[in-house]
Amino acid sequence: MDSWLTADMIELLRSGLILTLLVTVITTIGAMVMGIAAGTASMLGGRFVQRIARIFIEIHRNIPALVLVIFWAFAVPNVFPQQVRQQLFFNNTFWDALSNGTGLALPYYFLAGTFGLMLNTSGYLAEIFRSGVNTVPAEQFESARTLGANRRVVFWQLMLPSGLTAAFPAISTRLIHNFKNCALLSLVAVPVFFHGIQTAISKTFRATEFLLLATLVYLILTALIAALLRYVETRLPMGGHHA
Amino acid sequence: MLDQLQFLIENLPHLIIGFPGQRPGGLVMSIILTIVGLGLGFFLAVPLALGQLASIAPVRWISRLLVDLFRGIPLILLLVLVFQVIGSGRFGFVLEPRGAAIISLTLYSAAYQAEILRAGFTALPQQLDEIGRMFGTSRWQRLWHIHIPTVFRTMRPALTGQTISLFKDTSVVIVVGMSELMMSARILLGNDVNNAPYWVGVYLTVGVLYFLAAYALSKYAQSIEQTNQILGRQTINTLP
């Protein structure tokens, strides 16, 4: 092996890569659930619920992911005085247990950063899901109503399968974006892959090698994730689109 | 609470236009970066989009490769790559954070705009080209006077969406130390422990500033989309 890619560095990048993929999986699942929930609430909810859902969606779509990440990770703990902050966010049995279990030095930053990314992506997904549902012909909703379907049936039988299928290409694009956004967690001291790259550079001063390696890894991973999402797309229910 | 408010009011100008005696920063710099990245990116995006539709295979491959490269990596990585590798003096020049930020944003937005323009060029009605040919125009005349303006108009909603996205992405240039809205907030708060209570207020304000600019742009995009639909219908009706 070349002298710059020592066993230490490989271990650093390997654990970073695992963490990046973990954040991607958590934010993808969380944002899908939150996004579909918010999108549905903005369509099916009462007037008040609809308004709350719209505000949630617009806030998280129009604020950069980085601002949300820094807000939840760095700004929120600063509300409390020094002593309380340490107790609440960093030094108590809960965080110690989490730290021991995951091997992360500061698990709060990990959770807060992940939460920020999740909020950002869920705002986008809610809007995408809504536009997907909007492509479902109105007659289908009318026939559902004629058949006496309640909101729950309309959601599970019509909106979710048809809306998801119609919106899936746009959802894929956003999920790939979400994967790339995980690199932002390096700015709140979460040792994700990109953070590992930066640490490696500061230790070895081999910027070119490590950055080109990172580029290669990212290109392979985005291609793999894109392929995976295309596969998922072919397996989706066709919903009402055959009608 | 009152001192929170006072701190914010005193420092709001710094978040919007930067610190006195320095280059412009804050929100103004974020907007400048967006405009520059978008404008320069457009001129790169046209050849990249046309290259993907070219009849010569290597041209197609290279354009496809470049677009996939800049779309496939996070902007934060592209920024560090440009700043520390290309701008490190290895190629005979050293890039300042400003230069690195502009180059990265240009390349990044060029790739995304190229995808949008490619879709626009593919969807161009055949008749437009035939009409142009009837008037005896050259290939480049048709490209410059017919194709690009038409694609630009039909794809304007998508391009505006890209603008909003790029505007929010400028927050990432903090990684090379470029002084825009995010960096101004960080400089403002500094390492002073006494500033800790102001963190939430400052980042809420930063969020509000980003929100207002992005939301206004997206409302503008919606209004364009509506007029475009009306215009589009007219265009289709008047085509031979």
Contact A6, A18 (CB under 8 A): no
Chain B: residue whose CA lies nearest to A218: B73
Distance from CA of A64 to the nearest CA of B (A): 5
Chain B: residue whose CA lies nearest to A80: B197
Q: Which of B172, B174, B189 to mutate to test the interface with A (most CBs of A within 10 A)?
A: B172
pLDDT at B107: 97
Which structure tokens are listed for A83?
Answer: 């002593």
Give B230's pLDDT tier (boundaries 50, 70, 90): low
Residue B159 touches chain A, beta carbons under 8 Å? no
Distance from CA of B211 to the nearest CA of A (A): 5
Mean pLDDT on B102-113: 96
Distance from CA of A62 to the nearest CA of B (A): 5
Q: Which of A70, A134, A204 to mutate to test the interface with B (most CBs of B within 10 A)?
A: A70
Could you write out the three-class secondary structure of A5-56?
CCHHHHHHHHHHHHHHHHHHHHHHHHHHHHHHHHHHHHHHCCHHHHHHHHHH
Q: What ipTM is given for this predicted complex?
A: 0.90
What is the architecture, at CATH level 2, of domain A7-237? Orthogonal Bundle (1.10)
Chain A contacts of B214, Cβ < 8 Å? 61-63
pLDDT at A103: 78
pTM to 2 decimal places: 0.90
pLDDT at A240: 43
Of B42-51, B173-182, B224-233, give the lowest mean pLDDT range.
Answer: B224-233
Which of A63, A70, A183 is the closest to B74 by Cβ? Answer: A183
pLDDT at A235: 87
Residue A227 touches chain B, beta carbons under 8 Å? no
**Cβ count within 10 A of residue B98:** 16
Residue B218 touches chain A, beta carbons under 8 Å? yes
Distance from CA of B158 to the nearest CA of A (A): 13
Chain A contacts of B171, Cβ < 8 Å? 64, 66-67
Please compute Rg for chain B using Cα positions: 22
Chain B: residue whose CA lies nearest to A68: B207
% of chain B exceeding 70 in pLDDT:
95
Choose the CATH number for B2-238 among 1.10.357.10, 3.90.1150.10, 1.10.3720.10, 3.40.50.150: 1.10.3720.10
Span A40-94, pLDDT tens digits: 999 988 899 999 999 999 999 999 999 999 999 999 998 888 888 888 888 888 8
Domain ranges within chain B, ordered by starting residue: 2-238
For chain B, where are the alpha helices, taking DSSP H only? 2-17, 26-52, 57-72, 75-81, 97-122, 126-134, 139-142, 148-154, 156-169, 181-189, 199-238
Domain ranges within chain A, ordered by starting residue: 7-237
